[in-house]
Chains A and B, each alone.
Chain A
Amino acid sequence: MTDFAISQSMPARQSSPVLKALRRNRFAWIGIGLLAMIVLVAIFAPLIAPYDPLKQNILHRLSPPSADFWFGTDSYGRDVLSRLLYGARISLSIGFLSVLIAMVVGSALGILAGYIGGVFDQIVMGIVDVMLSFPTLLLGLMVAAMLGASFENLIIAIAITETAPFARVARAPTIAMKRRDFVEAGKSLGYTPVHIMRVHILPNILSDIVVVASLWMASAIRTEASLAFIGLGVLPPTATWGGMIREGFENILSAWWLVVFPSLAILLTVLALNILGDALRDAIDPKTRSQG
């Protein structure tokens, strides 16, 4: 009975108009389609890849794109297409996991800061402001350089650079939410603060967080590729897009395919995520939604 009363006074979840707006947005479908394709390619890389991404073949080194090697081969004679397909796994998993960590930690901090307020809020937001004052790439570069480049450390490094924006995004609506009737009602019913934050506040600010997540995953993939290009990526011979460009850059005058294909792969992935993030933002923002 009490639960019923509270759910009545809670704002309706925004999912249905959002989904409707998203369905109408043609851009969104391009983004979703592209992303789905890239994710599928990453999952099924072992089935699709024509060759072993690590197999060296000196006879075929630096051969241009052909019927046998669609995207050519690199200076060790490895198949560029196969390496690209496997590289998608690294880019996507580092991007996804780092944003997941940043999202969970950042939103938790933001909600706590907004809900508790006072000195705690000031300290957390002070730290957040400092983190935002480091350029993402440079902070990631420092952390990766200090920890040493590895799959796990890169996830940590990139997650650290992206925690602050989530805290920002989660905090503001929490403060607004705190004063709403349904939160007051929950309090007077004796729910614990954790329960209120988890059940009453989190679902209502989740859509904002998801938009930020898709945009920051684009940024995470860009950062990973940039770090790999600088030489702070997952160690060779593992195929990563940024690392492939780094290796191919030495032969840029003679073998364009070594840099062009991984570049397009990165661009396509980041673009897909950005399109999706934009469409989600438009769908959630009532101002743009009503105007189409």
Chain B
Amino acid sequence: MIGYVIRRLLLAIPTLLAMLTMVFILVRLVPGDAAVAMLGDRASAQTLQNLRAQLGLDQPITVQYVRFITDMLSGDFGRSMTSGRTVLEEVALVLPYTLELALAAMLIGTLLGIPLGVVAAVRRNRWPDYVSRVLSLVGLSFPGFVSGILMLLAFAVWLQWLPVMSRASSDPLSHLRSLALPALNLGLIMTAYIARVTRSSMLDVLGEDYIRTARAKGVRPSKLVMRHALGNALIPIVTVVGLYFGTLIGNSVLTEIVFTRPGLGKLILGALQSRDYTLLQGLMVVFATFVILVNTATDLIYALVDPRVSYAQ
């Protein structure tokens, strides 16, 4: 078991290295180079030269690559060109807002999605199933910003129940009110996703022999579904929800922009607008590392929860 954990953790290392290499190549795709892109065509040759020296772009490509990898591996993700803060400092400043949003969305998604999926599976091909499937199909089709804008329009502009702008506030009630719409937006998309995964996972389990046996032995239907079926169906659900994390981050970026909420989304947008390539590059690395770690953790949890996963190889 411990051997498996170590092997799985070691497997993340080549993935991380390959990811860093890809980011390195990606940043060098910039037409001209990053210095021209940041300063514009009209910058003087001297200023360009200075910035290149500062970014290390005047070095041979192999030297740049080695320096990039060693910097990143030692936790030095670079500095924002505009604010002068390190990338990690920039992320740390806004991360609580994004985490709060993502967690609230996860909560909403799980609380609504799992029951919806269970009902759909148990009442397969009857109206609860159709309603649940249509809802999740629609939910999955919304780009995060479109649903956000429509909700903003409905609840904040027309009904005026909730604030248009979502700001951090020390008053817990108004803080919750400003979190409500963005969290609901992300949460409903997530509900659609979880409901769908739960449905198909439950259908797989409900078709198993041991369920038929339990039913034949007279186990109450409610207990059968909740204890016998859902317990086992949860394993793939956990995995898929873990893998959904990347999409969740992408959607929260869009949601934050729609609701003018501080967070990683605003940070990325700002970096894009000010052509802050070092910040963008650093953010990319931080994001991908985060996703790789979550994926690794998901695999490990899967192995811990499901006794059928073999640790031998």
Q: Which residues of A contact B (CB under 8 A)?
A: 126-127, 129-131, 133-138, 141-143, 145-148, 218, 222, 225-226, 229-232, 245, 249, 252-253, 256, 259-260, 263, 266-267, 270-271, 274-275, 278, 292
A229 to B153, CA, bound (A): 17
A130-B22, A138-B287 as given contacts; A225 in contact with B153, CB under 8 Å: no
A136 to B247, CA, bound (A): 7
Q: Which residues of B contact A218 (CB under 8 A)?
A: 141
Whether A271 lies near B137 (C-beta < 8 A) is yes
The contact of B15 among A126, A226, A270, by CB within 8 Å, is A126
For B141, B150, B247, B268, which residue has the most chain A Cβ atoms within 10 angstroms? B141
Whether B138 lies near A133 (C-beta < 8 A) is no
**Which residues 2-31 of B sit at the A interface, judged by CB distance below 8 A?**
14-15, 18-19, 22-23, 26-27, 29-31
* 4 more CB-based (< 8 A) A-B contacts, given A137-B251, A222-B143, A245-B146: A225-B143, A259-B150, A270-B142, A274-B141
Whether B247 lies near A135 (C-beta < 8 A) is yes
A270 to B146, CA, bound (A): 12
Q: Which residues of A contact B31 (CB under 8 A)?
A: 147-148
- Least Cβ distance of B262 to chain A in Å? 17
Residue B206, interface by CB 8 Å: no
Closest chain A residue, CB of each to CB of B142: A267
Whether B153 lies near A252 (C-beta < 8 A) is yes
A95 to B23, CA, bound (A): 24
**Which residues 142-190 of B sit at the A interface, judged by CB distance below 8 A?**
142-146, 149-150, 152-153, 157, 164
- Least Cβ distance of B250 to chain A in Å? 4
A263 to B287, CA, bound (A): 28
Whether A143 lies near B153 (C-beta < 8 A) is no
9 examples of A-B residue contacts, CB within 8 angstroms: A133-B292, A135-B246, A135-B249, A226-B143, A231-B272, A256-B157, A263-B149, A263-B150, A270-B141
Whether A138 lies near B292 (C-beta < 8 A) is no
Whether A271 lies near B254 (C-beta < 8 A) is no
- Least Cβ distance of B39 to chain A in Å? 15
The contact of A133 among B142, B144, B254, B291, by CB within 8 Å, is B291
A230 to B251, CA, bound (A): 12
- Least Cβ distance of B23 to chain A in Å? 8
Whether B153 lies near A256 (C-beta < 8 A) is yes
Q: Which residues of B contact A (CB under 8 A)?
A: 14-15, 18-19, 22-23, 26-27, 29-31, 125, 137-138, 140-146, 149-150, 152-153, 157, 164, 246-247, 249-251, 253-254, 257-258, 268-269, 272-273, 280, 284, 287-288, 291-292, 295
* Chain B contact residues, majority secondary structure: helix
Whether A278 lies near B137 (C-beta < 8 A) is yes
Q: Which residues of A contact B141 (CB under 8 A)?
A: 218, 222, 267, 270-271, 274
A127-B18, A130-B18 as given contacts; A230 in contact with B257, CB under 8 Å: yes
Q: Which residues of A contact B254 (CB under 8 A)?
A: 137, 226, 229-230
The contact of A252 among B14, B145, B152, B284, by CB within 8 Å, is B152
The contact of A143 among B18, B29, B272, by CB within 8 Å, is B29
A252 to B253, CA, bound (A): 20
The contact of A141 among B14, B137, B149, B268, by CB within 8 Å, is B268
Q: Which residues of A contact B19 (CB under 8 A)?
A: 130, 133-134
The contact of B18 among A126, A147, A256, A263, by CB within 8 Å, is A126
Q: Which residues of A contact B253 (CB under 8 A)?
A: 137-138
Whether A146 lies near B249 (C-beta < 8 A) is no
Q: Which residues of B contact A256 (CB under 8 A)?
A: 153, 157
Closest chain B residue, CB of each to CB of A249: B149
For A138, A222, A230, A275, which residue has the most chain B Cβ atoms within 10 angstroms? A138
Closest chain B residue, CB of each to CB of A221: B143
- Least Cβ distance of B272 to chain A in Å? 6
A127-B18, A135-B291, A275-B137 as given contacts; A145 in contact with B247, CB under 8 Å: no
Whether A142 lies near B153 (C-beta < 8 A) is no
Whether B138 lies near A271 (C-beta < 8 A) is yes
A260 to B152, CA, bound (A): 11
Whether B153 lies near A135 (C-beta < 8 A) is no
A259 to B156, CA, bound (A): 15
A141-B268, A226-B144, A263-B146 as given contacts; A252 in contact with B157, CB under 8 Å: yes
The 8 closest A-B pairs by CB, nearest first: A137-B250, A135-B246, A270-B141, A271-B141, A135-B250, A130-B18, A222-B143, A263-B146
